[in-house]
Amino acid sequence: MGTSIIADKTYHFSQRIIKCSRFLKSQHKEYVISKQLLKSGTSIGANVIEGEYAQSNKDFLHKMDIALKEAAETEFWLKQIKESSLYGDHWDTLLSECIEINKILNSIVKTTRNNLNSKE
């Protein structure tokens, strides 16, 4: 796990994504969406951790931007699952968690970008 709240949140989120991906494959034989969800959902935390070890503020911003994009993609896939016959009540909390992560990352990106712009 990481050293920040967002690193911890995205780590635990990734663990839930892995379990949900397995569920989609085993229970619904859904391989395409489960793979897309797994790739984007676990990439969020990986980029956040990389950002924590960034070599500069610009590098940090770049990693957080990527994490934000991956979170947006994950939200897309979770909404697709919600709208399909694959949906169950347990997906609501995962989608809510993803939306919360999106908001946090968006705030981090905006703040970092503003700080970088004010230094230039």
The pLDDT tens digits of the residues spanning 77-99 come to: 999 988 887 666 778 899 999 99
**pLDDT at residue 92, rounded to an integer:** 85
- Distance CA(80)–CA(82), nearest Å, equals 5
* pLDDT tens figures, 22-61: 998 988 888 999 999 999 999 999 999 999 999 999 999 9
5-119 CATH choice from 3.40.50.300, 1.20.1440.60, 3.30.2020.10, 3.30.70.100: 1.20.1440.60
Asked if 48 contacts 10 with a C-beta cutoff of 8 angstroms, the reply is yes
